[in-house]
């Protein structure tokens, strides 16, 4: 008998039909981050007007779980203020997708960090101090991986 896939229907939906793939030519902030666990790369583009995220797009050299989480994150942040967007954790994204296998939780960190890095870039471009620190690897305690 075939093993059922370890992915929820929502993950499969966002993987096979990802939302917001591409670039924003007039992005207010762009963030690129690499995943220290697998070496995959994520880039996120944000359009921000009056501290509200009005558009978001992403590109990735990442796995299916990275595609699905980024697709979900770009959907979740649209219309949110920067403050609200910064509260979105990789766990919240994974939950919104109906869960991820534990071994793939590190992929969702890539989406969260790319989002923070794009917001950071926005602040930098504005000549302002970001209200948080640069994404740091290993500080998340996200899933017990520490290699
Ligand atoms: Fe690299 Fe998922 S295996 S992001």
Report yes or no on whether pTM surpasses 0.95.
Answer: no
Q: How far apart are CA 44 and CA 112, in angstroms?
A: 10
Question: 27 alpha carbon to ligand 1 midpoint, in Å?
Answer: 25
| pLDDT tier, 77 (very low <50, low <70, confident <90, very high otherwise) | very high
Q: Are 114 and 70 in contact, with CB atoms under 8 Å apart?
A: yes
Q: Higher model confidence: residue 146 or residue 43?
A: 43
With cut-offs at 50, 70 and 90, classify the pLDDT of residue 145.
Answer: very low
Distance CA 17, CA 14 (A): 5
Pocket-forming residues, ligand 1, beta carbon under 6 Å: 35, 38, 40, 62-63, 65-66, 107, 110
Counted domains in the chain: 1
Look at residue 85 and tell me whether its pLDDT is greater than 70: yes
Please check whether residue 111 lies inside any domain of the structure.
yes
Residue 141 placed within a domain: no
Query: Ligand 1 pocket test: which of 36, 39, 44, 65 has the largest number of ligand atoms within 8 Å of its C-beta?
Result: 65
Residue closest by Cα to atom 4 of ligand 1: 107
- pLDDT tier at 2 (50, 70, 90 boundaries)? low
Which CATH number do you get for residue 32? 3.90.1010.10
Structural domain includes residue 58: yes
- 38 is in which domain, residue-wise? 9-126
Average pLDDT of the residues in 74-84: 97
- Rounded Cα–Cα distance for residues 18 and 16 (Å): 6
Q: For residue 49, what is the enclosing H or E element?
A: strand 41-49
């Amino acid at each position: 008998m075939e093993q059922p896939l370890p992915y929820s229907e929502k993950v499969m939906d966002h993987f096979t039909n990802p939302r917001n793939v591409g670039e924003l030519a007039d992005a207010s902030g762009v963030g690129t981050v690499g995943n220290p666990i697998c070496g995959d790369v994520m880039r996120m583009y944000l359009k921000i007007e009056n501290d509200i995220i009005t558009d978001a797009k992403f590109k990735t050299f990442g796995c299916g779980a990275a595609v699905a989480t980024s697709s979900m994150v770009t959907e979740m942040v649209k219309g949110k203020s920067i403050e609200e967007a910064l509260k979105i954790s990789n766990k919240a994204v994974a939950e919104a997708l109906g869960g991820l296998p534990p071994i793939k939780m590190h992929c969702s960190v890539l989406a969260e960090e790319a989002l923070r890095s794009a917001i950071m870039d926005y602040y930098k471009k504005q000549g302002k101090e970001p209200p948080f620190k640069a994404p740091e690897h290993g500080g998340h305690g996200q899933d017990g991986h520490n290699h």
